Chains A and B, each alone.
Chain A
Amino acid sequence: MRKRRVRFFAAARAAAAALLFSLAGGSPAFAAEGEKPQLLKGAWSFDGPFGRFDRASLRRGLQIYREVCSSCHGLSFLYLRNLSEAGGPELSLDAVKAIAADYEITDGPDREGDMFQRKRRPSDRFPEPYDNDQAARVANAGALPPDLSLIIKAREGGADYVYSLLQGYEAAPAGVKLDETQHFNKYFHLTGGVLAMPPPLTDGIVDYEGEGAPKATVKQMAHDVTAFLAWASEPRLEERKRLGFQVMVYLAIFAALLYFSTRRLWLTAHGEADEKEESA
């Protein structure tokens, strides 16, 4: 979806630029429009008009989020119950309860007026890794790890961007100086590739269990966790595309009927005009 959109806009922009080029008599300043590296294209099952999420992939992505990302990144708009809702990882309610019970939350006040800790329930949100932004910055050498619940929508390039970023770490090129809290990622173009997040994924950092599970390579894990985050950004995607197809089919039929009605109606109107013109 995001991919097509980027391509569409790139084409539109190129066409418009070409048009303006010819108007302005050509100008070299046009050519230098940033040097963003081409993003890696993931094979997303949720792309296209009939796109659906791959449940197994979402579940593996959840595992990566919980075991790797969640130590620094929150998922603040998600409730644990979302994991069992239709169109997502679709875990059983018991599985969600078990996941929820891994996390604590401050509740209260109790009858004594004190706050107390209790296990999370499906109706609670995912836990935040830090108490506040300042604590997050202190723990991360001044950098604020962004919340991930909307990250796919909040970045140009969408899923492909996150997918690329997770695989884009490399040695800094000559001329880029890094201190020990900094890393180089060719897709993080905003600051010329320098970012505070260390490479989060290494081969085998999580254990994919169960039959037919793929090998936990960086590429596979980047794919799974990106798919999970795509779902987190847009949990109603499947419902949207399903309803969309029904609406489009309906509208096409309705439009066809209206077309024939209009044509028929206007044939009589022109006929009447003929008669009037003759009698006039």
Chain B
Amino acid sequence: MPHGESYEPRNRFTAWMDARLPLLRVMHESFLTYPTPRNLNYWWTFGGILTFCLAVQMITGIILAMHYVPHADLAFESVQHIMRDVNYGWLIRYVHACGASMFFLAAYIHMFRSLYYGSYKPPREMLWILGVVIIFLMIVTAFLGYVLVWGQMSFWAATVITNLLGAFPLIGEAVKEWLWGGFAVGNATLNRFFSLHYLLPFVIVGMVALHIWALHIPGNNNPQGIDVRQGKDTVPFHPYYTVKDLFAVSLFALLFSYFVFYDPEALGHPDNSIKANPLQTPPHIVPEWYLLPFYAILRAVPSKLGGVLIMFASIGILFFLPWLDRAKTRSARYRPLFRQFFFLFVIACLGLGYLGAQTPEGAHLILARILTFYYFAHFLIVLPLLSVIEKPLPVPKSINAPVLKGAGAAAQ
């Protein structure tokens, strides 16, 4: 178990505290002296970026809840009140709305990084599983939040998604009505969605704490995908990675600010600026961009129940990933075949995202089915097969050598 230089209380108060509640010790060892591989690249800064995103969403969200009214007659009005009258309300709402997109962008990059470098492999299975739990909670939270605006897209997204649950035989109808608190999406639905949207982020915070705990037990993976040696291969988290992560966060904040200040509606849909109307469905219903791949998978299957099951399975299958890919080598750097399939998988996910925004007809539908098939085949066929047939490249003994070479080049 890698632990940094241990914490030493500086004065009598901290010594007293340390004997009773070693909070400072835990913080010190987790975020200051925590030994981190020295060869992490910028793909590893997305953990810090995600922490930033979660904090931004929670702070702006708590503030929005001070002005928002979760009532079917007033929700849309209160959003406009925030946009027009509340001091800096427009800023806080746009940060929250764009923040959801930025959060998912960072989360997806973080996940693909794990896939590429094999960060889900032993001994980090729990770390990966907790991550999948978090992304699932994020999806639910984002969906609930999108409904709160109570525009046309909000209302019909709520209707379509809750109707998915009606696909389940026997209990489907009852579950739907239970969820709605009525016979259609209405005021009762909006109210409970608000409550849950406020609750779930705190659950996410708990999961993130576990996620970080599960990270600090085995320690970070690294681009080489090999085990690090204590001392020589590591640097203390602070200041090396706190400063580097902060740099990455500042770049990310630039992109974030571009959307908030110059193109805040780019990631939304015009129909959500029309108040919810239960009597009229918009011509095209599309979810937010970050849910499009799942939406494409849902619609690729010609049966209602089948589509729902396949869509949930597309997230569920991620839980089993550490046992589907049995290859010993972690990093794709030393797995030439895996690397190619990895990029194929990325393209499949992007393609599904594109298709999720199209009408599921003709070639679009056929392509969505092909990509859906590949999505699952990647996990169920390609990865298990690769673990058997692929011959990985030789892995370096230590992470030090290549790093030092890189440093020499940078210094010249």
- Given a CB threshold of 8 Å, the question of whether A touches B is answered with yes
Task: Name which residue of chain A comes closest to B361, CB basis.
Answer: A29
The contact of B403 among A255, A267, A270, by CB within 8 Å, is A270
Given the interface contacts A266-B240, A266-B244, does A252 sit within 8 Å of B90 by beta carbon? no
The contact of B243 among A4, A49, A245, A261, by CB within 8 Å, is A261
Q: How far is the CA of A49 from the CA of B257 in the complex (A)?
A: 12
Task: Name which residue of chain B comes closest to A146, CB basis.
Answer: B274
- Does A170 sit at the interface, judged by CB under 8 A? no
Given the interface contacts A156-B270, A270-B403, does A241 sit within 8 Å of B261 by beta carbon? yes
- Does A80 sit at the interface, judged by CB under 8 A? no
Q: Are B403 and A273 interface neighbours, CB within 8 A?
A: yes
Q: Are B38 and A1 interface neighbours, CB within 8 A?
A: no
Q: How far is the CA of A149 from the CA of B79 in the complex (A)?
A: 13
- Does A150 sit at the interface, judged by CB under 8 A? yes
- Does A155 sit at the interface, judged by CB under 8 A? yes
The contact of A244 among B231, B232, B260, B283, by CB within 8 Å, is B260
- Does A236 sit at the interface, judged by CB under 8 A? yes
Task: Name which residue of chain B comes closest to A242, CB basis.
Answer: B261
Given the interface contacts A20-B367, A24-B367, A258-B243, does A240 sit within 8 Å of B261 by beta carbon? yes
- For A176, list chain B residues within 8 Å (CB): none
* 1/0 contact string of A148-180 vs chain B (CB within 8 Å): 011001111010000000000000000000000
Query: For this complex, into which size category does the number of interface residues on chain B fall?
Result: 35 or more
Q: Are A244 and B262 interface neighbours, CB within 8 A?
A: yes
Q: How far is the CA of A27 from the CA of B366 in the complex (A)?
A: 10
Q: Are B262 and A16 interface neighbours, CB within 8 A?
A: no
- For A233, list chain B residues within 8 Å (CB): 273
Q: Are B254 and A258 interface neighbours, CB within 8 A?
A: no
Task: Name which residue of chain B comes closest to A266, CB basis.
Answer: B240
- Does B363 sit at the interface, judged by CB under 8 A? yes
- Does A117 sit at the interface, judged by CB under 8 A? no
Count the A residues whose beta carbon is within 8 Å of the partner chain — how many?
Answer: 57
Q: How far is the CA of A115 from the CA of B251 in the complex (A)?
A: 58
- Does A280 sit at the interface, judged by CB under 8 A? yes
Q: Are B90 and A240 interface neighbours, CB within 8 A?
A: yes
- Residues from 70 to 99 in B contacting A, C-beta threshold 8 Å: 77, 80, 83-84, 90-91, 94
In the assembled complex, the CB of A64 is this many whole angstroms from the nearest CB of chain B, namely 22
* 1/0 contact string of A1-43 vs chain B (CB within 8 Å): 1101100100001001101100110011110000000000000
Q: How far is the CA of A273 from the CA of B262 in the complex (A)?
A: 44
Task: Name which residue of chain B comes closest to A255, CB basis.
Answer: B250
Q: Are A251 and B261 interface neighbours, CB within 8 A?
A: no
Q: Are B90 and A269 interface neighbours, CB within 8 A?
A: no
Residue contacts A-B, CB under 8 angstroms, 16 given? A19-B351, A23-B351, A27-B362, A77-B80, A154-B270, A240-B91, A241-B262, A243-B91, A248-B261, A252-B254, A261-B243, A261-B247, A265-B240, A269-B235, A273-B232, A277-B232
Q: Are A24 and B84 interface neighbours, CB within 8 A?
A: no
Q: Are A255 and B350 interface neighbours, CB within 8 A?
A: no
Chain B, interface SS category: helix
Q: Are B232 and A20 interface neighbours, CB within 8 A?
A: no
- Does B263 sit at the interface, judged by CB under 8 A? yes
The contact of A153 among B94, B251, B265, by CB within 8 Å, is B265
- For A155, list chain B residues within 8 Å (CB): 270
- Does A61 sit at the interface, judged by CB under 8 A? no
- Does A111 sit at the interface, judged by CB under 8 A? no
- For A132, list chain B residues within 8 Å (CB): none
- Does B1 sit at the interface, judged by CB under 8 A? no
Q: How far is the CA of A77 from the CA of B80 in the complex (A)?
A: 7
The 8 closest A-B pairs by CB, nearest first: A244-B261, A270-B407, A27-B363, A29-B362, A154-B273, A258-B247, A255-B250, A153-B273
Task: Name which residue of chain A comes closest to B353, CB basis.
Answer: A16
Q: Are A30 and B363 interface neighbours, CB within 8 A?
A: yes
- For B253, list chain A residues within 8 Å (CB): 251
Q: Are A1 and B400 interface neighbours, CB within 8 A?
A: no
Q: Are A29 and B363 interface neighbours, CB within 8 A?
A: yes
Q: How far is the CA of A251 from the CA of B329 in the complex (A)?
A: 40
Q: Are B363 and A77 interface neighbours, CB within 8 A?
A: no
Q: Are B261 and A153 interface neighbours, CB within 8 A?
A: no
Given the interface contacts A49-B262, A77-B80, does A20 sit within 8 Å of B351 by beta carbon? yes
Q: How far is the CA of A146 from the CA of B271 in the complex (A)?
A: 13
* 1/0 contact string of B366-410 vs chain A (CB within 8 Å): 110010000000000000000000000000000010011001001
